[in-house]
C-alpha cells in the first residue's frame, strides 16, 4: 500500500492536514493539490478553518506561503495555523534569551533604560527617573527608586525583588501601580512585588516567594 504524504481529518472546527515530514516538499504539495481538488473538500457555503501539522519539517516562509495559497485557492478553505516541531535559529535564540538571567553591575541613572529579554539581576541601584525592563523577573541587589517593568511580554507570573523597595512605579505584565498604591508590608527586609489573584500588585517580604511562586527557582529543595 502506497504511503500517504497528506492525511486530511475533519474536526468540529474544520479540517486538520497532517503532512508527512520525510518526503520532499514537492511531493507534499502535489498530493495536497490532488486531495483538496476532490469534491469531498469543496463546495462549502462558509469558510472552513484548516489547521496544518507538519511534524519535524521546517517550512521556509516561501513554502508556508505556497501551502497557504494552495489552500486558499480551494473553495472556502483558509489556513488558521501551522504547527511544527522545528524552530528556526532566530526563534531558538529568542526563546533562549527569554529564559536566561542577565547579570548587570551598574547604577541605572535618571533618563537611562535597561532592557533585557529574560530575567534581570541588577547589582546596583535604580535611581529616580531610571527604568529597568525585563521579559521575565527583575532582581535588584540595591535600591529600586525608579521604574521597574517585569513580565514585559505578557508573563503575569513575573516578580520584582529589591533590597530596598522605593519605586516611583511598578509594572508587571499589563498591571501597574505607583509605590503608594501597592499593598506593602511595613518592614524593611528585601521585598518582592507580584500579581495576586485579582491582578493587583502586592509587595511582600521576599521569603514568601517560595510559597507564592514555587517555580521561581529551578533548584530542588532537599530534606
The string of pLDDT tens digits covering residues 24-55 is 999 999 999 988 887 565 555 678 889 999 99
CA distances in angstroms from 21 to 68, 82, 86, 162, 219, listed in the order given = 17, 13, 11, 49, 38
Model pLDDT for residues 65-107, shown as the tens digit of each residue: 999 999 888 878 889 899 888 777 777 777 677 778 899 999 9
Cα of first residue to Cα of last residue in the chain, in angstroms, is: 58
Comparing CA positions, the residue from 153, 163, 151 lying closest to residue 192 is 163
Q: Do strands 48-53 and 101-105 pair parallel, antiparallel, or not at all (unpaired)?
A: unpaired
Contact of 50 with 15, CB cutoff 8 Å = yes
Q: Which of 45-59, 126-140, 143-157 has the lowest mean pLDDT?
A: 45-59
CA distances in angstroms from 128 to 4, 107, 152, 191, 209, listed in the order given = 64, 11, 20, 18, 26
pTM, to two decimals: 0.58
Amino acid at each position: 500500500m502506497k504511503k500517504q504524504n497528506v492525511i486530511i481529518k475533519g474536526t468540529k472546527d474544520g479540517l486538520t492536514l497532517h503532512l508527512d515530514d520525510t518526503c520532499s516538499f514537492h511531493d507534499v504539495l502535489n498530493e495536497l493539490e490532488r486531495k483538496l481538488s476532490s469534491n469531498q473538500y469543496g463546495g462549502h457555503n462558509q469558510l472552513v478553518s484548516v489547521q496544518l501539522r507538519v511534524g519535524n519539517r521546517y517550512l521556509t516562509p516561501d513554502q508556508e506561503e505556497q501551502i497557504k495559497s494552495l489552500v486558499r485557492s480551494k473553495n472556502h478553505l483558509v489556513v488558521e495555523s501551522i504547527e511544527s516541531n522545528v524552530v528556526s535559529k532566530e526563534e531558538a535564540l529568542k526563546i533562549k534569551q527569554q529564559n536566561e538571567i542577565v547579570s548587570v553591575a551598574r547604577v541605572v541613572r535618571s533618563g537611562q533604560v535597561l532592557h533585557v529579554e529574560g530575567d534581570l539581576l541588577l547589582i546596583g541601584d535604580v535611581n529616580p527617573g531610571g527604568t529597568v525592563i525585563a521579559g521575565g523577573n527583575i532582581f535588584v541587589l540595591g535600591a529600586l527608586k525608579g521604574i521597574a517593568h517585569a513580565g514585559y511580554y505578557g508573563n503575569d507570573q513575573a516578580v520584582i525583588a529589591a533590597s530596598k523597595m522605593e519605586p516611583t512605579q511598578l509594572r508587571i505584565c499589563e498591571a501597574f501601580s505607583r509605590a503608594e498604591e501597592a499593598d506593602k508590608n511595613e518592614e524593611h527586609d528585601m521585598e518582592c512585588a507580584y500579581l495576586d489573584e485579582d491582578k493587583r500588585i502586592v509587595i511582600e517580604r521576599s521569603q514568601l516567594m517560595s510559597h507564592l511562586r514555587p517555580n521561581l527557582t529551578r533548584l530542588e529543595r532537599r530534606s
